[in-house]
Amino acid sequence: MTKKTNASKTPGALSRRSLLAGGGALVVGFSMADAFAQAPSAPGAAPAAPPLPGALRGAPMIDSWIRIDAAGKVTVFTGKVEIGQGIKTALIQVAAEQLSVPVSSITLVTADTARTPGEGYTAGSQSMQDSGTAIMHASAQAREILIKVAAEKLGADVASLKAEGGSVVAPDGRKLGYGELVAGDVLKVRAEPGATSKLVRHADYKVMGTSMPRVDIPAKVTGGAAFIQDFRPDGMLHARVVRPPSYGAKLESVDTASIEKLPGVRSVIRDGNFLAVVTAREFQAVKAMEKLAAAAKWSERETMPEQASFYSWLKQQDKRAITIRDDKGPAGQPVKTLEAEYHRPYHMHGSIGPACGVAQFKDGEMTVWACSQGMFPLRAAIAELVKLPPPKVRCIHLEGPGCYGHNGADDAAADAAYIAFKLPGAPVRVQWMRHDEHLWEPYGAGMAMRVKASLDSEGMLTGWDYDVFTDAHSTRPGGAGSTLVGQAIENAFKLPPPQPIPQLNGSGDRNIIPPYKVANLKLVHNFQPHMKLRVSALRGLGAYSNVFAIESFMDELAAAAGADPVAFRLKHLTDPRAIDVVKLTADKFGWKAGAVTGAGVGRGQGIAYSRYKSTAGYCAVAVEVDVDRETGRVRLIRAVSAADSGTVVNPDGIKNQIEGGIIQAASWTLHEAVQFDRTRVLSRDWSRYPILRANETFESVEIHVIDRPGTPFLGTGESSQGPAGAAIANAVFNATGKRMRALPYTPARVKEAIGV
Amino acid sequence: MAKLEINGNAVNVDAEPDTPLLYVLRDDLKMNGAKFGCGLGQCGACTVLVDGKAAFSCVVPVSVLEGRKITTIEGLGTIEKPGPVQRAFIEEQAAQCGYCTAGLVMRTEALLKATRQPSEAQIRDGLSPNLCRCGTYNRVIKAVQRAAQYMRTASAEAGSDKT
Amino acid sequence: MRTIIGIIVAVAALAGLGGVFVSRPSIAPIERPQASTFPAEAVKAGASLAAVGNCITCHTKDSGAPFAGGRAIETPFGRIYATNITPDPVTGIGRWSEPAFGRAMREGVARDGRHLYPAFPYDHMAKTSDADIKSVYAFLMTRTATPAPTPANELGFPYSSRSLVAFWKLLYHDRSPFKPQAAQSAEWNRGAYLVEGLAHCGSCHTPRNAMGAEDPSKPYAGADVQGWTAPALGATSDAAVPWTADRLYDYLRKGRSPQHGVAAGPMAPVVRNLAGVSDADIKAIATYVASIAGAPSAMRQAQATQAIARAKGEGAPSRNAPSGPGAAIYAGACAQCHGEAGRAPLDPALNLALSTSVRAGSPNNLVRVILSGIQQADNAPGPHMPGFATVLDDKQTADLVAYVRASFTDRPAFAGVDGAARRAR
Ligand code: FES
Ligand code: FES
């Protein structure tokens, strides 16, 4: 095997057939290494030697990922974190498969700045591409190294030995446990994918590719310590923060003396606009916080635009117009031109548990336990905040409630660290209240999408002109200035001006590229970092709303062309994997081509497709709804989805993610919009920001996973939300004949669209 | 001092009478099952049973609980020996982040105590005081159906033992 | 009461003998008119009028098709099922001509001549103009036809006899059309027309006599309905702060008035339906209803000033809680949202010092809300409150109610809280 072969391969070119037809295990292993090496998470680089696959690039030593002790216990390290996506389970599966050890012998350590590789944020559905790929290669290589050591010890030929259940076994039955083979630094070697990492062949998978029950669920349903909220180091104090009533409010005065006298109060902290109380017991903190909040006098001002005219305000702001694509090509004569504008309001992450962070400052060192997505960037921010050198700060991830992006978790951790810094010694736990999370988490930005497209006489797209107007979609990493406490204290840190994230990831322009064949394509991202409301990354960033707009508009075009929505899409798709998910979805759904559009009432069907980030998971969703003509209530009947996430590690894990994404997107689509007036955000709890409840969910959700063995992991966590939202929109159109271009589809708005 | 009966055990807790049960469970008794989600009775993350009925422990002061039987998820089974509802949730993999899950398990327990064979509509309505942000509702509904099955089989077996 | 029933039985028997009251002539069925034959303008106007009339609420059963009937209406005389008023030709009103529909609205007589029970408030509907009846007809005839037979009413003798209804009408049914009052503004008159007519506010807010008719001597004096108390709208109102047209408008538009309370119980759907009604009509309704109580007396004004002070935690009586078991319950269960001094700094739930239910003569509504909470239909944004029925027993509920009454009002303790709690469960 040579590097030349390697370089000549193209990503994704490996089909199941070529795998099966391939020569020996070595060939397969190498070829797979190749496919994974070119995973799209590693754009840009073109070094002489092929880049290491996945996150090995940042941490190329095998023992950064895999360690085995003398008793044969395996510890796997990842810089990623579990945020409810089931990544722990999938990574354990990968390691168990490639190391040939039982799943139960593996301990997985997630992001900890003192122990694990740094992998930035757990975001963008990239955990499998990054960490999964690294662990797969590292495990395979570790296994081969151990076989080699065993061969020496046993005086046997390497080729005659095999790894099995945590031991290396010789043909004559002699056996050496991994624990006996790891002496010295045998795993302290650089990763050499393809040379020594012989990946287990897909056909031989025992653990990968099968649905393994999630490792974290049993504790979560039996009262085990599973979340940061359950972490109670000895001597821990409880803190609550009193945040301002609105953006930009200034603390004019507060009488802390009366609060200091309340039962259990250890300290009241005031620094600039930062106000917190620390107590011995938790409910004492709640009560003291309430009194402190009542004692605080703030001056507030109008900082936000009028909600009623938000979208026109948005489009009028100064903007940086970034042209994403400007393609010109031969096309048919346009005979019909359509134009439309779509709107999405601000959305919350709305984690069921408000943010929590614990920190201890002792002997000049800060330890922070946090549930945010990136321990390494958090360390940098906290080091800056409390002015310690980064090595003096350690950030350890503990699981939190579902995070879906940049929510309050980093802020709560920073709150805790700041308070702990002022009160050295005891661990300090900051638990946000519901209103803290609702009012202060960074939202997913409101967006307007304007699109114009033309059809020729054959009903084919000839041109597509698309503008997205939106705020920043990520304010990370940003350092201390991106934390609320950093912005609030007397010597405040400034949030650096946010930057758009370049394609192909994109930010507000994520998924701006229509997946369809169209010769003349003009795509512009109008980036407006005004940030009147606090914003940052929310699951999928711009993808959900761009797909909502693109796929709604494709439906409008199909209607204009007199074509069935499925047929119209298939006519414009070229990627065979895209065609497969659309066809499979339509087929399993029982799509009725040409079903009447706009009966004005009752049932409707809708379909939508996207490939997340144009480079990651493929997903199509078809939905059936029932629209009540009198009330405008949209009842969700069925959702059917097909997803292709590349090589499948845990099929049920993928199903769970796709299903969850569909249901969450249904909530966004039907209910959600952050309410605000010129001064305050009004959505302070669930009563002002309702989300989908159990009695509103689909009657059934059915997911079909297409396995593409040997192809790169594509990630799953965010791929279903765009198509799910758009499929609901299209189904409502199909049922009512009315196209609604503004989210959410509340009964009142649907009723308004339907008319009497 | 509050006298409580939790999962069949008498416990004395040194807590002010107005302290919501949730804080006593989590902070004083170091129990993990009931979760803080809103503190407002809106989300159900803190659901426990009081005399067999579902209650939001975040808005139940301990002063009203004297002489009442409190059941938390810790009382339904253990990780080694999960109870029927817990088992059903594990088998249906009815969780993503799992933060809402304990509350949903308790809501299910209450529902199945009141209605042995709930219709799907009853399940959906019965679960609806509890929120899940990750989108597990459909799996949870399946878990409830499975748990109902387990409970019926269990009581059928218990019944046949007697005869 | 016994004598009244005696009379009724006697009259019913008589009526049965004579047959005069048994029924009215049938009006010939028609072919179901095509939806397209109704002018869009009429349908639209009818939609708004039907919303004022709250028709959909009674004529739709839980998770049933809109207007297809089947909802059970509990009356002191038994259970009456609302009819199917979709244009289904067999089970609905698809074969009713406009005159047949108009007769039902004005006279409470079905197309086939049967008398309708006054659970259908034709005593109010009769005030509706011909043009508006035409519009409502157009609206209903263009709904989705849903076949759904109406279950038979469950009424014991003598109430099961429809001839009794004829007699009832003789006594209580005023068929005269609405007469505007020249001295009042157009807005007031519009409000009066809607309130006395289609909106049939008196059906709930005016007490009824033993025969189930509204007592004309006590208009809008408040009454018990479906277990709730419809508060008095007149001068005897329990509101801490007198209603004004503006406040009423706000309440009817948003379902919530910070100075009074939240639309709960049977009032919740009324407000929900008003969403489809123009601002002008809601203002008119608010203007008229505000006028029912007249300008507040100096005493009422003084009370209001006091209540507002109390709400802010100033003035007497102090909001310092009387101690006792209710105080701890309030602090642990209610204060998170309703606040005690210092809690819930931003936009708290209703300030109880201003709550009409807390000040009311009967603890009924307060107890009901405590036990069942408030949930918005269709999970819409709006006030939300958990119910406490599973955790508070009757005694604890009474403790809480006593505490709330004592700390947020200057009114004497409620009587009969236990009973109210038992009934509300
Ligand atoms: S935490 Fe109790 S209901 Fe949300
Ligand atoms: S599983 Fe995450 S909130 Fe339900």
* ipTM, 2 dp: 0.93
Q: Which residues of chain A have pLDDT under 50?
A: 1-48
Q: Residue A320: inside a domain, yes or no?
A: no
Of C172, C207, C222, which one is at a domain's C-terminal end?
Answer: C172
Burial class (CB in 10 A: 0-12, 13-18, 19+), A236: middle
The residues pairing with A394 across neighbouring beta strands, listed in sequence order, are A367
All residues of chain C having their beta carbon less than 8 Å from the beta carbon of residue A262 are none
Chosen from A222, A279, A430, A640 to mutate, greatest number of chain B CBs within 10 A: A222
Domain co-membership, C248 together with C141: no
Contact between residue C24 and residue C165 where contact means Cβ atoms under 8 Å apart: no
Beta-carbon contacts of residue A6 (< 8 Å; ≥ 6 apart): A30, A33, A34, A37, A50, A194
How are beta strands A365-370 and A393-397 bridged, if at all? parallel
The pLDDT confidence band at residue C365, using thresholds 50, 70 and 90, is very high
All residues of chain B having their beta carbon less than 8 Å from the beta carbon of residue A282 are 23, 26-27
- Indicate if ligand 1 lies below 6 Å from the C-beta of B103: no
Atom of ligand 2 nearest to the CA of B104: 4
Of A410, A440, A470, which one is at a domain's C-terminal end?
Answer: A440
The alpha-helical segments, DSSP class H, found in C312-380 are 325-329, 335-338, 356-359, 364-372
All residues of chain C having their beta carbon less than 8 Å from the beta carbon of residue A601 are 144
Domain co-membership, A96 together with A171: yes
Q: Measured between alpha carbons, how far is C25 from C22 in angstroms, rounded to an integer?
A: 10
Residue B163 is predicted with a pLDDT of 42
Does C343 touch chain A if contact means CB atoms closer than 8 Å? yes
Domain co-membership, C250 together with C153: no
CA nearest neighbour of A471 among A558, A529, A550, A524: A529
Domain co-membership, C160 together with C26: yes
Q: Residue C302: inside a domain, yes or no?
A: no
Domain co-membership, A40 together with A189: yes
Domain co-membership, C7 together with C56: yes
Burial profile A535-548: b = 16 or more Cβ within 10 angstroms, e = fewer: bbbbbbbbbbbbbb
Residue A8 is predicted with a pLDDT of 33
**Chain B: closest CA distance from residue A698 (Å):** 7
Q: Measured between alpha carbons, how far is A583 from A578 in angstroms, rounded to an integer?
A: 9
Beta-carbon contacts of residue B88 (< 8 Å; ≥ 6 apart): B94, B108, B143, B144, B146, B147, B150
Residue A136 carries which side chain, given as an amino acid letter?
M
Coil, strand, or helix at residue A17?
helix
Which run of H or of E encompasses B48? strand B47-50
Q: Residue C370: inside a domain, yes or no?
A: yes
Contact between residue A551 and residue A561 where contact means Cβ atoms under 8 Å apart: no
Does B38 touch chain C if contact means CB atoms closer than 8 Å? no
The alpha-helical segments, DSSP class H, found in C88-208 are 98-107, 122-125, 130-141, 162-172, 186-196, 202-205
Domain co-membership, C214 together with C145: no
Supply the DSSP string of A339-391, one letter for each residue: EEEEEE--B----SSPPEEEEEEETTEEEEEE-SS-HHHHHHHHHHHHT--GG
Coil, strand, or helix at residue C7?
helix
Distance of CA B38 from the midpoint of ligand 1 (Å)? 5
Domain co-membership, C9 together with C146: yes
Taking one residue from A and the other from C, the number of pairs with CB-CB distance under 8 angstroms is: 68
Range of the domain at A425: 228-242+250-299+349-440
Domain co-membership, C157 together with C13: yes
CA-CA distances (angstroms) from residue A309 to A26, A304, A306, C381?
Answer: 63, 11, 6, 20
- Indicate if ligand 2 lies below 6 Å from the C-beta of B131: no
CATH architecture of B84-158: Orthogonal Bundle (1.10)
Q: Residue C141: inside a domain, yes or no?
A: yes
Of A420, A440, A460, which one is at a domain's C-terminal end?
Answer: A440
Tallying the residues shown for chain A, one arrives at 756
- Indicate if ligand 1 lies below 6 Å from the C-beta of B106: no
All residues of chain B having their beta carbon less than 8 Å from the beta carbon of residue C384 are 42
Number of domains in chain C: 3
**Chain C: closest CA distance from residue A635 (Å):** 10
Does C425 touch chain B if contact means CB atoms closer than 8 Å? no
Q: If you average pLDDT over residues C149-165, what whole number do you get?
A: 89
Domain co-membership, A45 together with A180: yes
Beta-carbon contacts of residue C95 (< 8 Å; ≥ 6 apart): C29, C30, C31, C32, C89, C111
Domain co-membership, A191 together with A232: no
Reduced to 3 DSSP states, what percent helix, strand and coil does chain C have, rounded to the nearest 5? 45, 5, 50
Q: Residue A145: inside a domain, yes or no?
A: yes
Domain co-membership, A94 together with A232: no
Domain co-membership, A143 together with A254: no
What topology does CATH give the domain B2-75?
Ubiquitin-like (UB roll) (3.10.20)
Contact between residue C12 and residue C167 where contact means Cβ atoms under 8 Å apart: yes
Does C328 touch chain B if contact means CB atoms closer than 8 Å? yes
Q: Measured between alpha carbons, how far is A143 from A178 in angstroms, rounded to an integer?
A: 9
CA nearest neighbour of C406 among C337, C349, C330, C339: C330
Say what the alpha-carbon torsion angle A112, A114, A115, A118 is, to the nearest 10 degrees.
Answer: 60
Peptide bond into C158 cis (omega under 30): yes
Which run of H or of E encompasses A469? strand A461-470
Domain co-membership, C363 together with C251: no
Q: Residue C289: inside a domain, yes or no?
A: yes
Domain co-membership, C282 together with C340: no
The first and second tokens of residue C257, run together, are: 């008035």
Domain co-membership, C233 together with C259: yes
- Indicate if ligand 2 lies below 6 Å from the C-beta of B62: no
Q: Measured between alpha carbons, how far is A132 from C69 in angstroms, rounded to an integer?
A: 58
Q: Residue C306: inside a domain, yes or no?
A: no
Q: Residue C181: inside a domain, yes or no?
A: no
CA nearest neighbour of A431 among B23, C18, C67, C65: B23
User: Who has greater pLDDT, A310 or C335?
Assistant: A310
CA nearest neighbour of C190 among C245, C235, C141: C245
Range of the domain at C407: 312-424
Supply the DSSP string of C253-278, one letter for each residue: HHSEETTTEE--TTHHHHHHHHTTS-
Contact between residue A646 and residue A709 where contact means Cβ atoms under 8 Å apart: no
pLDDT tens profile C100-136: 999 999 999 999 999 999 999 999 999 999 999 999 9
CA-CA distances (angstroms) from residue B65 to C329, C333, C392, C403?
Answer: 11, 13, 9, 18
All residues of chain A having their beta carbon less than 8 Å from the beta carbon of residue B40 are 434, 685-686
Domain co-membership, A190 together with A237: no
Q: Residue C137: inside a domain, yes or no?
A: yes
Q: Do domains B2-75 and B84-158 have the same CATH topology?
A: no
Q: Measured between alpha carbons, how far is C148 from C139 in angstroms, rounded to an integer?
A: 19
Q: Residue C304: inside a domain, yes or no?
A: no
Distance of CA B33 from the midpoint of ligand 1 (Å)? 13
For C379, name the nearest residue in chain B, comparing CA atoms only. Answer: B128
CATH number for the domain harbouring residue A353: 3.30.365.10
Chosen from B99, B127, B140, B150 to mutate, greatest number of chain A CBs within 10 A: B99
User: Which chains border A (3 or more CB–CB pairs < 8 Å)?
Assistant: B, C
Q: Measured between alpha carbons, how far is A320 from B123 in angstroms, rounded to an integer?
A: 51
The first and second tokens of residue A176, run together, are: 């050496």
Atom of ligand 2 nearest to the CA of A351: 3
From A83, A217, A352, mutation site for ligand 2 pocket: most ligand atoms within 8 A of C-beta: A352
Tokens 């310092």: give the residue. C320
End-to-end CA distance of chain A: 71
**Chain C: closest CA distance from residue B153 (Å):** 28
All residues of chain A having their beta carbon less than 8 Å from the beta carbon of residue B46 are none
Supply the DSSP string of A473-510, one letter for each residue: S---S-GGGGSHHHHHSSSPPPPPPP-PPPTTT-STTT
CB–CB of A687 and C381 under 8 A? yes
Number of domains in chain A: 2
Domain co-membership, A153 together with A279: no
CB–CB of A684 and C43 under 8 A? no
CB-nearest to A351 from B98, B127, B133 is B133
Distance of CA B99 from the midpoint of ligand 2 (Å)? 5
Q: Measured between alpha carbons, how far is A551 from A729 in angstroms, rounded to an integer?
A: 9
Burial class (CB in 10 A: 0-12, 13-18, 19+), B20: buried
CATH number for the domain harbouring residue C352: 1.10.760.10
Domain definitions of chain B by residue range: 2-75, 84-158
The first and second tokens of residue C305, run together, are: 């000033």
Domain co-membership, C58 together with C85: yes
Check whether B78 has a pLDDT greater than 90. yes
Supply the DSSP string of C26-81, one letter for each residue: -----PPPPGGGS-HHHHHHHHHHHHHHTHHHHTB-TTSPTT-B--EEEETTEEEE
The pLDDT confidence band at residue C346, using thresholds 50, 70 and 90, is low
Domain co-membership, C139 together with C197: no
Q: Residue A546: inside a domain, yes or no?
A: no
- Indicate if ligand 2 lies below 6 Å from the C-beta of B134: yes
Which run of H or of E encompasses B120? helix B120-127
User: Which chains border B (3 or more CB–CB pairs < 8 Å)?
Assistant: A, C
Chosen from A217, A221, A238, A685 to mutate, greatest number of chain B CBs within 10 A: A221
- Give the distance from CA A381 to its chain's centroid: 21
HSE-CB for A357 with a 13 A CA cutoff: 32
